[in-house]
Amino acid sequence: MISFEPLKVLKNQEYRNLLSGRFFLIIAFRMLATLLGWWVYQLTKDPLSIGLIGLSEVIPAVGSALYAGHVIDNNEKKKMLLMCNYAYVFLISFLLIPAFLGHRLHFSGHEITYFIYGIIFFTGICRAFLGPLVPSMIPKIVKMENLPYAVTMNQATFLTASVSGHAIGGFLIALITIKYTLVVIICSMIIASFFFWSLNKQFPVVKHDEKPEVWKSIKEGLSFIVRTKEILGAQMLDMFAVLFGGAVAMIPVFASDILKVGSEGFGLLNAASDIGSMCIIIFLSLVPLKKNQGKILLCVAAGFGLCIIGFGLSKLYWLSFGFLMLSGMLDGISVVIRGTIVQLKTPDELRGRVMSVNSIFIMSSNELGQFESGVMAKIFGVARSVVIGGALTLGTAIFIGSTSPKLRKMEY
């Protein structure tokens, strides 16, 4: 039965401001990811070069994540959110140099590519802090009984922005070229900051007279995750499933060389999985999952792998779009289950550290998955590498499901 009870969380003005700021920020990030994948591939014509974008970001992001969690739990969160937002604006602005002046300064394609990798390396450090901040702020803004609904709405906002960003990015590249698309991306980041300014300050939960030592603080967060088997199992499943099933990273190659649909078709294909995720999360906002969340999580992970196999085998644009959209629907269910479990089971004083570890799993699966896809494509060919990745994702879901009884029985 459809219920509009979950939508009442949107009556909270501060929560709406947080979601609005995140919406414009995620649009910017997705447009940027779309633009960089297309730009680098046009410069190099090498699938591995796309994978190196993810590697350039994930190394500093994962390396900084545990420390970022400690800092988030021991400092005022609104100030950190704004600092990270403006750091992104500053760093991405440097990409305007090769975009507008590359030919005039006689930059080669490889020089521009290396410059992009360098900028993305530094944005990875910002991401280590920014990624856990918004989820860790939500429980202080909404009531605890509304937290599951707030988590679902947060994911719906994220995916709506992802769909918009991927699609708009592809269209803007075709319509106004790469350099002016970068200007739009930077403007979107600045708009996000206006909403963040309206948030209330969130000071840390202080338990001691002095701040704890960094390593002791990090260890406390890690120990909590290891003890909480449902969180650990769900994160491991997501990490390995998406790591092996990172077909999205190869979409520029499929659009350009296999399906031959150009930048417009690339934008839609790039948004297909997010469209599916957005549709299912909107549905789950009205019809929440009531039971058997662990079994559902395992089933959707296996289905995700099958969709990736289908995408790798497809030679038809509409069929490829359908497989990616269905994979996004299954991934959307997984996102809601995992996000709700993490929020409900984590105490306030540990949220930054737990969300930072969660971000490591997410970044490891997405960005390392992007790199893994590039390497596999180089070795086996693009289509064959995607099929192999889908098969490994399916195998991972079966293995974790058969060896993790707590995850199978998980409910909230």
pLDDT higher than threshold 60 for residue 109: yes
Better pLDDT: 196 or 272 = 196
Domain count, the chain: 1
Q: Which of 76-90, 233-247, 327-341 has the lowest mean pLDDT?
A: 233-247
Residue 142's SS3 state is: coil
pLDDT higher than threshold 70 for residue 113: yes
Q: How far is CA 163 from each of CA 38, 91, 257, 267, 273, rounded to the nearest angstrom?
A: 17, 24, 23, 10, 8
Q: What is the CA radius of gyration of the chain?
A: 20
Identify the pLDDT of residue 324.
92
Whole-angstrom distance, CA of residue 157 vs CA of residue 285: 11
pLDDT higher than threshold 90 for residue 174: no
The pair of structure tokens assigned to 99 is: 């975009």
Identify the pLDDT of residue 404.
78
**Residue 204 in domain:** no
Which residues 6+ apart lie within 8 Å of 36 measured at CB? 53, 116, 120
**Residue 12 phi, psi dihedral angles, 5° rounding:** -80, 110
pLDDT higher than threshold 90 for residue 191: yes
Better pLDDT: 367 or 168 = 168
Question: What's the angle, vertex CA 79, arms to CA 9 and CA 199, rounded to 5?
Answer: 25
**Residue 213 in domain:** no
Most confident of 2-6, 24-28, 67-71, 367-371: 24-28
Whole-angstrom distance, CA of residue 222 vs CA of residue 225: 5
The pair of structure tokens assigned to 409 is: 């029985």
CA 364: distance to chain centroid? 11
Average confidence (pLDDT) over 60-89: 91
Q: How far is CA 150 from each of CA 107, 160, 250, 324, rounded to the nearest angstrom?
A: 47, 15, 33, 26
The pair of structure tokens assigned to 393 is: 């994702």
Question: What's the angle, vertex CA 143, arms to CA 142 and CA 147, rounded to 5?
Answer: 75
Q: Model pTM?
A: 0.76
Residue 82 sits in a domain of what CATH number?
A: 1.20.1250.20
- Classify 381 in phi/psi space as left (phi over 0), alpha (psi -120 to 50) or beta: left
Identify the pLDDT of residue 366.
64
pLDDT in tens, 160-171: 887 788 778 888
Query: pLDDT category, 206, cuts 50, 70, 90?
Result: low
Whole-angstrom distance, CA of residue 93 vs CA of residue 154: 28
Give the domain extent around 289. 5-198+226-408
Q: How far is CA 151 from each of CA 1, 17, 138, 202, rounded to the nearest angstrom?
A: 20, 15, 8, 18
**Residue 221 in domain:** no
pLDDT in tens, 307-332: 999 998 988 999 999 999 999 899 88
pLDDT higher than threshold 90 for residue 187: yes
Q: How far is CA 65 from each of CA 61, 231, 359, 369, rounded to the nearest angstrom?
A: 6, 18, 7, 18
Query: pLDDT category, 407, cuts 50, 70, 90?
Result: confident
Identify the pLDDT of residue 196.
96
**Residue 216 in domain:** no
Identify the pLDDT of residue 204.
83
Q: Which residue has the tokens 């940027």?
A: 32
Say if CB 230 and CB 407 are below 8 A apart: yes
DSSP 257: I
pLDDT in tens, 263-301: 778 778 877 887 888 788 888 877 777 788 888 988 998
Q: Which of 77, 194, 60, 204 is nearest to 119 (CA)?
A: 60
For the chain, give the percent of residues with pLDDT over 70.
92
pLDDT higher than threshold 90 for residue 194: yes
Identify the pLDDT of residue 281.
80
Task: Give the other-Cβ count within 10 Å of 52's Cβ.
Answer: 21
Residue 75's SS3 state is: coil
Average confidence (pLDDT) over 229-235: 79
Average confidence (pLDDT) over 54-58: 82
Torsional sign, CA 96, 98, 102, 105: positive
Question: What's the angle, vertex CA 308, arms to CA 303 and CA 313, rounded to 5?
Answer: 125
pLDDT higher than threshold 80 for residue 6: no
